Chains A and B, each alone.
Chain A
């Protein structure tokens, strides 16, 4: 049995965990700010577009079995393009994950550790993720699969528990800020599907690379359901999020859960699940980034690369002067970077490489 490759279920859990962490921290807020009452409609629409997009990139990836984006870049533009694409993706993963780490650590500091410096909370996360990343036999992918049901159960539990606070009239006006915002500029909400960025590097890691399409589609559909549930919770519960902005909308929703006078203040349980899930997300990102760097440098061991990337992650998480900067980065810059790199550059590399492959075969 190959213990270094990822199974299909592990791969789906991995991709959904990535999206889930983004949903908790930034995506729900950004989606609601952009499309207000039309958020659910917009997510359905964007979800369909994302599934189509995923089918197309999986079609391209299947043309190069067991190749990831780096191998395809190398085929298309040699080492130079491979290095450019590799470094761009490492920068993307490390910088924005670091930024999310800053946001999550700031939330934890405000809620639970008011007298502890954010730096130490960030440091403890990075150490945990680095240790997890260095475990053998793909421990992080397996642990992600164990955590995955907890994410599903906790989200459904949150939805059901808060249901009696819901007011479904808040789904109107149907088109929110307008048809253009919902269906044209609202496409920007596609950045909710962060798992797309990781799909490009999955084929060589999979036990069954030919099933990348099935894995990717399943992951996107589950992510879409997660986003719909999350947005529905916040949209139906709070009028406030359209007008005011809160640190962590999910935390606000969790605070409402009460079952009699015995089960109150369940936020600690939710935070425990979110913390475990976030460590998984960090270790997945470190693992992917170190794999990319290893492919670029041909290093024998990934350990030293993981330490180096963990150090970069620490810098990416602590450079922000305040919380507001990290929120701006995660809501604006993150979106632009996602579209530029994941949707445009990576897609173009795949498409042009396919054309080159056809041309090479034709000339032979």
Chain B
């Protein structure tokens, strides 16, 4: 046998070996054999520990041609199954739908409030252990069941459900009603002993509640100090809403932040571009004034230790624009602007104090990473543990220094 013949034979044998070895992985990754999950919902099961719901969209939706793909509720498939773990349930769903369930495009992971109160660390670790899960998938704690939440999650303005889920990150920037909280953040903060974690708070709106015959609309509110998901007055084709933040102590849900508290949290953590607040009108008593706030500088968080006590200073510098105008007022007058500025400052100081009281004293959690900021005072981890920073945080002194610069009243300066 010549040298060339030997090499050709060797090459062909190798080729056959590798084709057979890698073909099984190729088949499992073939698009025709995959079912892409858009969202996962996890509830407490009735017959097993967990009830896992998966939301799919029919693949024909993406291949309708001409770039005019569209999706309506009939193209959304919601399948749920019960098992003792997420992946056993997914396996069950897999056997039902016939295709391999793929989580690579899963945009949201929803947990019911009931399950979250019992602790979800095992579920979070298991999901993060899966190579297909993206760390940027949003985590939502829903006040209804996760199944109902997914059932009612239908896009309003977007063609595709995935496009609707992508809006969560943008909405958080300009409303301040929610925060773009992901499973990556959740996992990371869960692993850190010094800080606590949060998730988006979701729920069903009044229309969906009526359809589900649940507790109806009796707890609806418009007050931002009370407004959370499931209590708004929104009524629309889509039955879900995300308002507020779910707060965790370690892996257990311990409370929720209302709209005002969410804005405070986002301002402190520089996670907001602009938001609108409603204050008592300092010029015309008995009326309300809406002000648009925009951070002028990044919020400065300073943590110091004095006499074994944690002192936390928050410096906020914001620009404000008056949106609601009253008749007969010159909004260029420095006296008017000062009054508005002081009113906004008082309002925010009050909101900040309420927020700090709630998270540190009532919930005993550090979701703003103040304790991480205080680590610099300790040369070693041992000294840090000896000081018991987390415990000291509960009795910390909070000082908020808020600077408001009222820029203008947008287009009309004098009424």
Query: Does A177 contact B381, Cβ atoms closer than 8 Å?
Result: yes
Q: Is the interface of B mostly helix, strand, loop or mixed?
A: helix
Query: Does B187 contact A240, Cβ atoms closer than 8 Å?
Result: yes
B-chain residues with CB within 8 Å of residue A127 when the two chains form the complex: 14
Query: Does A120 contact B22, Cβ atoms closer than 8 Å?
Result: yes
Query: Does A174 contact B381, Cβ atoms closer than 8 Å?
Result: no
Residue in chain B with minimal CB distance to A124: B18
Complexed CA–CA distance, A120 and B18 (Å):
7
Complexed CA–CA distance, A243 and B27 (Å):
37
A-chain residues with CB within 8 Å of residue B29 when the two chains form the complex: 112
A-chain residues with CB within 8 Å of residue B309 when the two chains form the complex: none
Residue in chain B with minimal CB distance to A180: B380
User: A116-B25, A127-B14 known; A239 and B188 CB under 8 Å?
Assistant: yes
B-chain residues with CB within 8 Å of residue A244 when the two chains form the complex: 125, 191
Query: Does B22 contact A173, Cβ atoms closer than 8 Å?
Result: no
Q: B79 to chain A: closest CB distance in Å?
A: 22
Interface code B103-143, partner A: CB below 8 Å = 1, 0 otherwise? 01000000000000000000001000001001110000000
B-chain residues with CB within 8 Å of residue A255 when the two chains form the complex: 134-135, 184
Q: A247 to chain B: closest CB distance in Å?
A: 9
Task: Tell me the chain A residues, 115-151 only, with Cβ under 8 Å from chain B.
Answer: 115-117, 120, 124, 127
Q: A62 to chain B: closest CB distance in Å?
A: 42
Task: Tell me the chain B residues, 366-411 only, with Cβ under 8 Å from chain A.
Answer: 369, 372-373, 375-376, 378-384
Query: Does B375 contact A115, Cβ atoms closer than 8 Å?
Result: no
Residue in chain A with minimal CB distance to B132: A111
Interface code A96-121, partner B: CB below 8 Å = 1, 0 otherwise? 00000000000000111111110010
Asked if A203 is at the interface of the complex by the 8 Å CB criterion, the answer is: no
User: A120-B22, A240-B191 known; A167 and B17 CB under 8 Å?
Assistant: no
Task: Tell me the chain A residues, 309-325 only, with Cβ under 8 Å from chain B.
Answer: none
Q: B276 to chain A: closest CB distance in Å?
A: 25
Query: Does B379 contact A174, Cβ atoms closer than 8 Å?
Result: yes
Task: Tell me the chain A residues, 20-72 only, with Cβ under 8 Å from chain B.
Answer: 36-37
The one of A36, A110, A117, A173 in contact with B21, judged by C-beta atoms closer than 8 angstroms, is A117
Complexed CA–CA distance, A242 and B384 (Å):
15
Number of A interface residues at 8 Å Cβ cutoff, please give it: 38
A-chain residues with CB within 8 Å of residue B379 when the two chains form the complex: 173-175, 179
Residue in chain A with minimal CB distance to B187: A240
Complexed CA–CA distance, A172 and B380 (Å):
8
Query: Does A256 contact B372, Cβ atoms closer than 8 Å?
Result: no
Query: Does A169 contact B375, Cβ atoms closer than 8 Å?
Result: yes
Task: Tell me the chain B residues, 178-195 only, with Cβ under 8 Å from chain A.
Answer: 184, 187-189, 191-193, 195
Q: A207 to chain B: closest CB distance in Å?
A: 33
B-chain residues with CB within 8 Å of residue A167 when the two chains form the complex: 369, 372
Task: Tell me the chain A residues, 250-271 only, with Cβ under 8 Å from chain B.
Answer: 252, 255-256, 258, 261, 264-265
Query: Does B24 contact A120, Cβ atoms closer than 8 Å?
Result: no
Q: Is the interface of A mostly helix, strand, loop or mixed?
A: loop
User: A116-B22, A239-B191, A240-B191 known; A256 and B135 CB under 8 Å?
Assistant: yes
Query: Does B28 contact A178, Cβ atoms closer than 8 Å?
Result: no
Query: Does B17 contact A176, Cβ atoms closer than 8 Å?
Result: no
Asked if B210 is at the interface of the complex by the 8 Å CB criterion, the answer is: no
Complexed CA–CA distance, A117 and B22 (Å):
9
Interface code B191-223, partner A: CB below 8 Å = 1, 0 otherwise? 111010000000000000000000000000000
A-chain residues with CB within 8 Å of residue B346 when the two chains form the complex: none
Residue in chain A with minimal CB distance to B22: A116
User: A124-B18, A178-B382, A256-B184 known; A243 and B192 CB under 8 Å?
Assistant: yes
Asked if A334 is at the interface of the complex by the 8 Å CB criterion, the answer is: no
Asked if B166 is at the interface of the complex by the 8 Å CB criterion, the answer is: yes
Query: Does A173 contact B131, Cβ atoms closer than 8 Å?
Result: no
Query: Does B373 contact A110, Cβ atoms closer than 8 Å?
Result: no
User: A113-B25, A240-B191 known; A173 and B136 CB under 8 Å?
Assistant: no
The one of B14, B28, B189, B376 in contact with A115, judged by C-beta atoms closer than 8 angstroms, is B28
Most interface-central of B166, B376, B381 (chain A CB within 10 A)? B381
Asked if A238 is at the interface of the complex by the 8 Å CB criterion, the answer is: yes
Residue in chain A with minimal CB distance to B163: A261
A-chain residues with CB within 8 Å of residue B25 when the two chains form the complex: 112-116
Most interface-central of A36, A115, A170, A178 (chain B CB within 10 A)? A115
Complexed CA–CA distance, A59 and B178 (Å):
62
Complexed CA–CA distance, A12 and B179 (Å):
47
Query: Does A173 contact B383, Cβ atoms closer than 8 Å?
Result: yes
Query: Does A238 contact B188, Cβ atoms closer than 8 Å?
Result: yes
Most interface-central of A110, A116, A127, A178 (chain B CB within 10 A)? A116
Query: Does B380 contact A169, Cβ atoms closer than 8 Å?
Result: no
Interface code A265-280, partner B: CB below 8 Å = 1, 0 otherwise? 1000000000000000
Query: Does B191 contact A174, Cβ atoms closer than 8 Å?
Result: no
B-chain residues with CB within 8 Å of residue A117 when the two chains form the complex: 21
Residue in chain B with minimal CB distance to A169: B372
Complexed CA–CA distance, A113 and B26 (Å):
8
B-chain residues with CB within 8 Å of residue A110 when the two chains form the complex: 131
Q: B102 to chain A: closest CB distance in Å?
A: 12
Query: Does B21 contact A120, Cβ atoms closer than 8 Å?
Result: yes
Known contacts A173-B378, A177-B381, then 14 further A-B pairs from the complex at CB < 8 Å, ordered by chain A residue: A115-B24, A169-B376, A173-B380, A173-B381, A173-B384, A176-B381, A177-B380, A178-B381, A178-B382, A239-B188, A239-B191, A240-B192, A242-B191, A256-B184
Q: Can you list 7 contacts pairing A with B, beta carbon distance less than 8 Å?
A: A37-B375, A115-B24, A115-B25, A124-B18, A172-B372, A175-B380, A176-B380
List the interface of chain A (C-beta within 8 A of B): 36-37, 110-117, 120, 124, 127, 167, 169-170, 172-179, 237-240, 242-244, 252, 255-256, 258, 261, 264-265
Which 10 pairs of residues, A with B, have the shortest CB-CB distance? A239-B192, A172-B375, A120-B21, A240-B191, A115-B24, A113-B25, A172-B376, A169-B372, A116-B25, A173-B378
